[in-house]
Amino acid sequence: MGTKFWWVTAFAVIALAGWLVYANTLDNPFVWDDENIIMRNAFIKNWSHVGNIFSSDLGAGAGTLYHSYRPLQVLTYLIDHSLWEGNVRGYHISNILVHILAACSFFVFTCLLCGDRTLALFAALLFVVNPLHTEAVTYISGRSDPLSALFLFIALICYLAYLDKGSKGWLAAVCAGYAASLLSKETAIVFPALIVIYHVVFKKPARPLGAAVIAGVTFIYAVFRGVALRALMPHTVDHFGLAQRLPGVFVALARYLKLLIAPFGLHMEYGLKIFRFSDPAAFAGMAAAVCLVAAIALSWQLSRLLAFSIAWFLITLLPVSNIYPINAYMAEHWLYLPSAGFFLIVAAGLRRLYRDNRRKTMAVVLFGALFIFYGAITMRQNAFWKDWVTFYSYTLRYAPDSNILHLNLGNAYLCLDRKEEAIEEYRKVIGLNPRNAKAYQNIGFVLTGMGRRAEAAEYLRKSLELKPDDAIAWNNLGNIYYDEGKMQDAAEIYRKAIGVNPYYGQAHYNLGNSLVALGDIDGAVASLTKAIEVSPGFVDAYNNLAMIYKALGRCDEAIAFLERALAIAPRYGLGHANISKLYSDAGKDGLAKKHAAIAAELGSK
């Protein structure tokens, strides 16, 4: 088999394996943080916001602060929205593609690292189908892990080429890959440590210029994050000291190793828990840490790949170990990059068997069994993400006291119009945490829809008392005043929502409607225009602007706005109905009849 054909075949097999195990995710809905990071994120709706993406928090486009600076992740969602708009399938395809590319890059890096293509293929195939990566691939907002890993592997590939060739072009590629990995997820800061351990374990001489440049990129990023974007540094609101967090570091290590060996009971939401050193899992984790460090020392001369693989696992796990405070003691998607070290070890064992002609069949059978085992669990795990109620109900089995899970399950019930069940879940949240502003806000929203406006207003005021910078709560309170005909009060409340989040298109739209009722036409036009500017797909804003211009006798402009709305949403029934009337008034009977027929078919929605 020719070398070129071998490489093409290897890439094709990796891609096919990745696609097969994740193809059943394509119709899974947006879940969890997808609402803020994608669905309500104004920054991904228009290319004019690229500057905002590179200067703001991950959730800034939806008025939410995650204390995460990952502009390349958000940029990929902007590209997705340009291609697919709100079609969730497109976003899943992108996630699968990034994961496959990361696996292919891992394959190339492993080939360069050990010079064994068979071993590298074993490792990459186990990596691409492993169920531990479900959370990073099936969950669209989990894209930062595979995206950052992809660029990190590329940077490592380029670094090995730079060591071999000494070309400044390769060094520039290293810096570009490293920077892209950092801008996808901050955990890529371990790159210099991986470079150091590579040189130490494999006894390869370093190039001083390369070391200096990589150190410079790291320093610049650290200063940029620590000074210019200090507010976006990762942190947790539960300010536990290191001594309190440390047992959890070892608990997580023990459980990560268990999941790598036996990936059962996978789920999201491990939470921020505090453990004691007397906890058996903490003791197991400490014992595992000692064994892993000892294994590095013992294998240093016997197997450099084994030493490097164990060191890789420990180093890449450090940023998410909760030594520096973060928002959970463990999470499965944090194993995305560290797991590469584990798969290198497993692949090395399989390769050793494969070299022995007497055990070659055994190696193939073991690999096949492991591959099918991983793939089957991955596909089964993907099915738990098929709809919101299934996903949150499943996850609650493992975290029954999770505020966020009860909150999200309530949201799922609300989307299914199961209002009483939604309220019940929100009340469970308040029972677990009486200061959870979101639960009060959501109960207020549900009660508004049920016509119980006085009760709803009380819940929304309580929400704003706890969290006054919540634009959605202000907007929902404004809706109550609007429904009661108190337009001046509604307008003031909408302005408060906009003050909190200037990119909140719905608040601009609602303010515009209230200003129409108050007779402030110029203000209404400005607000509706702003709604379109921050949310270019907001067809109702186009429609309401058209109705204003129609009332002013400026029918050509009204028609133009409706044509733009229908270009965005061809099945927008209300737009067809209104443009039909305008065409009729303009004497364009053919167009009027055409749009009237479409409106009749669709209904005025």
- Asked whether residue 173 carries a pLDDT value surpassing 50, the answer given is yes
Q: Domain boundary residue among 345, 361, 383?
A: 383
Q: Are both 267 and 337 inside the same structural domain?
A: yes
Q: What is the pLDDT of residues 34-92, one digit of tens each?
A: 989 999 898 998 898 999 999 888 988 887 888 889 999 999 999 999 999 889 999 99
Q: Residue 237: what pLDDT?
A: 47
Domain termination site, one of 317, 349, 383 = 383
Query: Does residue 45 lie in a domain region?
Result: no
What is the identity of the amino acid at 319?
P
Residue 105: burial class (beta carbons within 10 Å; 0-12, 13-18, 19+): buried
Host domain of residue 367: 3-30+87-383
pTM for this structure?
0.84
Same domain, 482 and 595: yes
The verdict on 208 and 347 lying in the same domain is yes
Is 40 domain-assigned?
no
Residue 593 belongs to domain with CATH number: 1.25.40.10
Per-residue confidence (pLDDT) for residue 231, from 0 to 100: 54
Give the number of C-alpha atoms closer than 13 A to the C-alpha of residue 171, restricted to the C-beta side: 17
Written as six digits, the tokens of 374 are 């991983």
Please state the rounded mean pLDDT for residues 233-239.
52
Q: Are residues 314 and 447 in the same domain?
A: no
Q: Are residues 294 and 176 in the same domain?
A: yes
| Average pLDDT of the segment spanning 511-534 | 95
Task: Say if 412 falls within a structural domain.
Answer: no
394 vs 406: CA distance, rounded Å:
12
Residues 282 and 136 in one domain: yes
The whole-number average pLDDT for the span 252-265 is 96
Please report whether residue 290 resides in a domain: yes
Confidence bin at 230 (pLDDT 50/70/90): low
What confidence tens digit (pLDDT) does each residue in 304-336 have?
Answer: 999 999 999 999 999 999 888 888 999 999 999
- Co-location of 304 and 437 in the same domain: no
Between CA 548 and CA 554, with CA 552 as vertex, the angle to 5 degrees is: 95
- What confidence tens digit (pLDDT) does each residue in 193-225 have? 999 999 999 999 999 999 999 999 999 998 887
Neighbours of 565 (CB within 10 A): 27
How many Cβ atoms sit within 10 Å of the Cβ of residue 76?
Answer: 20
Q: pLDDT tens, 556-589?
A: 999 999 999 998 888 899 999 999 999 998 889 8
**Residue 407, in any domain of the structure:** no
Q: Count of CB atoms within 10 A of residue 256's CB?
A: 25
For position 239, what pLDDT does the model report?
Answer: 60
Q: Which of 327, 354, 383 is the last residue of a domain?
A: 383
54 domain-assigned: no
- Tell me, yes or no, whether 297 and 204 share the same domain: yes
Does 462 share its domain with 348? no
**Residue 301's pLDDT band (boundaries 50, 70, 90)?**
confident
How many domains are contained in the chain?
2
* Residues 366 and 442 reside in one and the same domain: no
Question: 84-93, 123-132, 267-276, 469-478: lowest mean pLDDT where?
Answer: 267-276
442 and 350 part of one domain: no
For 99-113, how does the pLDDT look when each residue is reduced to its tens digit (9 = 90+)?
A: 999 999 999 999 999
Q: What pLDDT sits at residue 536?
A: 83
Same domain, 351 and 208: yes
Q: What is the pLDDT of residue 332?
A: 96
List, for residues 472-512, the tens digit of each pLDDT value.
Answer: 999 999 999 999 999 999 999 999 999 999 989 999 999 99
Residue 235 has pLDDT above 60, yes or no: no
pLDDT at residue 417, as a whole number? 93
**391 within domain boundaries:** no
